[in-house]
Chains A and B, each alone.
Chain A
Amino acid sequence: MLTINEINVFYGNIQALKGVSLEVNEGEIVTLIGANGAGKSTLLKTVSGLLKPKQGTIEFQGKTIAGKAAQTIVKAGISHVPEGRRVFSNMSVEENLDLGAYLRKDHKAVAEDKERIFKIFPILLERRKQLSGTLSGGEQQMLAMGRAIMARPKLLLLDEPSMGLAPLMVKTIFHTIEEIRKEGTTILLVEQNAHMALSIADRAYVIETGHVVLSGLAKDLQEAEQVKAAYLGGL
């Protein structure tokens, strides 16, 4: 579904991704784990068009999307939940969701999707009219995910959904990610919480200082010594 081939991404003179290749198949949850500054978020931003790769190709459903504008990529069916949630805090929960469907013209289906999201995240229904800046961190994360789903993506990019959340909330969020996948959305998940990420993912990539150093089935990686030592607390 998504094929990334040897991309190089720079911030000014600093190279953040060095020849990264990666593949996501339809219906999968693929996770990308790695330490701070490894290039995980950069990769997602490049896929969603917020950054442009200098070299390399990105194909989504057979079409090349590398270097295309963000709105073209959203239209093609990729939604990005950016790191740190980034909800529109002076807007109500509902207005945030409406903006998620900004590019859609099928108003009836948008209304249905909103109801569907209220089913997945009942707390958002309760807070429907509340300003989203007044929500708790976990609720904001749910809103950010709900907002992204409003675009009816085929592929959802999740950037550190567990960041700064209480352990119980992290569980809820990961449970919802599995639910979203069951409804037919493919997921590319970036996480620092490697343990949780590997437990729900099908496949995983480990990224270190801009290189993919390891990849494979998530359950194999959970057992790999290298991963255990670096990311799972050496159990």
Chain B
Amino acid sequence: MKKSKIFWIYIAVALVVYAIVELLIVNGQLDMYYSNLFITIAINIILAVSLHLVIGITGQFSIGHAGFLAVGAYISAIFTTNLGFPFPVALIIGAIVAAVAGLIVGIPTLRLKGDYLAIATLGFAEIIRIIFLNIDYVGGAAGMQVDYLTTWTYAFFGVLITIIVIANFTNSRHGRACIAVREDEIAADAMGINTTYYKVLAFAIGSFFAGLAGGLFAHNFFIIQPSQFGFLKSFDILIYVVLGGLGSLSGAVIAAILLTVISLYLQDFPETRMIIYSLVLIIVMLYRPSGLMGTKEITDFFKFNKKAKGGKVNE
């Protein structure tokens, strides 16, 4: 009963944050550099949260997330730039095609476990990259010209929708089934949970939102190239999820924000950038081996609510 009220409080807080940033951008207090930072953070949050559903909640170690990002990016770019569709429509089409790609990859590979699944998904992401690299229609290695369309408004609402959908999914009966799959697949099977179905479902939802992020990503700069979607990009996303704490949605969000900001500021020190970045990761893993948040959610710290815990469902 109180749950819906708390939900609307969160929405209200989020909208206030949105309005403040939007106002600052419109009034020119935040220049291109900073508005771009906010958009990048938003895109990374979507990626982190979508992979959190696959790895943190369902326990399927997929490291090919950049592949779905690429599908969303290229498909939406084709629809806006080459076919002249409106941006929101192209975003949704990109996300849907990414989800379909998720199904195509998920159905055969999700029978695999652990390391094997990781390798299969990694391989898939590379295949996607190579395919785009070899299609002249999308510019091949030289890349594809894309209109600059992503605004803070699109990015923000992308994040909002992603978090609402994934948090609600996690707290539903389906979410609990996914967590059961993560905890013990054989036991989940024995409970009568269709484990393959839930793995594929989580994978498709995760791919959908990765595709959405891809659309925003593609239209946030004037060009996209296959090299932007290599396995290093997949690892970036994986790092957000692991650093935030496997199973924690807010952890994924916090890690995405922190690491995006850190890597941006480190661009001033190109020689030492990767060293410092790696050191940050090593230190966090040494002192917080279960990630910044463990499996807890930020809302657990407020007494009044226990929403969206990774693995917990309140009554």
A contact residues vs B (CB 8 Å cutoff): 48-50, 69-71, 73-75, 79-82, 86-92, 95, 98-100, 102-103, 144, 147-148, 151
Contact = CB atoms under 8 A, between A and B. Distances in A.
Interface of B: 173, 176-177, 179-180, 183-184, 186-194, 247, 295, 311-313
Contacts of A73: 192
A92 to B, nearest CB: 7
A151 B187 contact: no
A100 B313 contact: no
Contacts of A148: 190
A163 to B, nearest CB: 15
Contacts of B173: 102
A86 B193 contact: no
A90 B190 contact: no
Nearest to B310: A90
B132 to A, nearest CB: 38
A95 B191 contact: no
Contact of A89 (B183, B186, B193): B183
Nearest to A85: B187
16 contacts: A50-B189, A70-B189, A70-B192, A71-B193, A73-B192, A74-B192, A81-B190, A87-B187, A88-B183, A89-B184, A90-B183, A91-B312, A99-B176, A99-B177, A102-B191, A147-B191
Contacts of B179: 88, 90-91
A83 to B, nearest CB: 9
A82 B187 contact: yes
Nearest to B313: A95
B192 A71 contact: yes
Given A90-B311, A91-B311, A92-B312, A80 B180 contact: no
Contacts, number: 73
B172 to A, nearest CB: 12
A75 B187 contact: no
Contacts of A70: 189-190, 192
Given A90-B183, A98-B176, A151 B192 contact: yes
Contacts of A102: 173, 176-177, 180, 191-193
Given A82-B186, A82-B187, A88 B192 contact: no
A98 B313 CA distance: 11
Closest 3 CB pairs of A and B: A74-B192, A88-B183, A86-B187
Contact of A79 (B180, B188, B190): B190
A54 B192 CA distance: 22
Nearest to A150: B191
A103 to B, nearest CB: 4
Contact of A48 (B176, B190, B194): B190
Nearest to B177: A102
A100 B176 contact: no
A148 B188 CA distance: 11
A164 B142 CA distance: 63
**Residue from B177, B189, B191 whose CB has the most chain A CB atoms within 10 Å:** B191
Nearest to A80: B190
A159 to B, nearest CB: 10
Contacts of A74: 190-192
A99 B190 CA distance: 10
Contacts of A82: 186-187, 190
